[in-house]
Structure 1
């Protein structure tokens, strides 16, 4: 954020002052440092650049504020004239801080609330940084990888629909009849699949399929791996299904021990096979996040155990929530 140059020149003295004030506030907002007391030691901060009443502004503070600026803005303050402009904005801001203190604004409820939020945010950052400081060792990474292997190693899966006609191999007559019916169905579906809605297969499955688990959903079997399909319908079915390459492609008539099938490919999901080395960045981010969460939980548990806390339910119950339907709490039966 550029503290001064983004504000265009203004013709009147009043607007020039306002511009300077806004620039001073914008400059202070670039940093994340908290407000300092009016009287401040400048030991170990380099020489004093400016004194504003009882507040000394050190060279280190000026440099820190400059370092907070974006590089393209910072480069504009190389000359002495521009450095003075920069310091002048810091002086303006400090004068406003001192005036706000003089008027007692440090005790303003809004100011206190803002300060409390800033303190809590800084405490959280400090706690999380401390929790994440220790490096993760190879044992932790390997343990997580082994326990969550399914996140990093997944087989290719396909989503297929099928029409199934029961025809066990032992019943030759039924099988011949089912095969002929499937051939006829396939020809009929292909003649209708040019419909933009492409529902011919699903309609036929709903009407004709004898797979009770999938017929109501148009024969949809969902996403299955090669192993899952083989376990459910056999290797011939699986080979035919995985041989399909493009969405909506139909198989020829497929024969399995259970009967006769027509298969339609819906979509494919690529498999994944990540080694520990490949998965490390993801695992480290996950474990560091868990560390930070556990650290915060531990801190809050410790603070709660050391504090005296009492919640007044009767007072809480009286709080009315605007826009909500306020109902009295259900009375509890007496023992």
Structure 2
């Protein structure tokens, strides 16, 4: 509820607007009004039918927030350099998140038909579960070097203890302890695609993840206890497909925007 009330006062932060018709005003504080449409637009899906008491509470929160906002403006807090910087940062983050919501989250969802087709094409992979070990490397070059050593016969567990950046699995030689079924949603889809085609003892190509590059080894494969049907993995598979699709769309958008902008980065100056 508090998040909804925050949304309801954002218009006051980001600028003025024309005064609404009197019969469309739900609440007013001095010259600022909350309209019926603004209230409805701020409600997330599934909350449109909240009871009258809930609506009254939200309106009360908007009034309280607006009173505090107007008092802060009267005291000139928005002219304080630190406050102004925080407001600018808030606006930047808010607008960036709205862009991500509109261009990536809302436009890149997998359908049930797509998930079923994905399952049908890989049914055999869903009938096994695998145990994994991993080595986490910071960059692509380090990951490629580790993969080359493994291809030349280096011991995976020993190399994991020497160079892996994952503190939890490093002491175990990279072992992730658990067995993973296909389509559970517990591991990302691109990781599943990299490892479920491997035989026991097989080593994957480096897989790019947000925290670096991971090289996986399938240490064991075993059949599931009961044959897996699409309905058994529908929810987890849809989740994994949606996450992978949105991640790819985000990365493509960042690359496109970066290509059209002048970007500098000097992290060494932070030392």
TM-score w.r.t. structure 2 length?
A: 0.48
Structure 1 or 2, whichever has the larger Rg, is: 1
**RCO (CA 8 Å, sep 6+): is it higher in 1 or 2?**
2
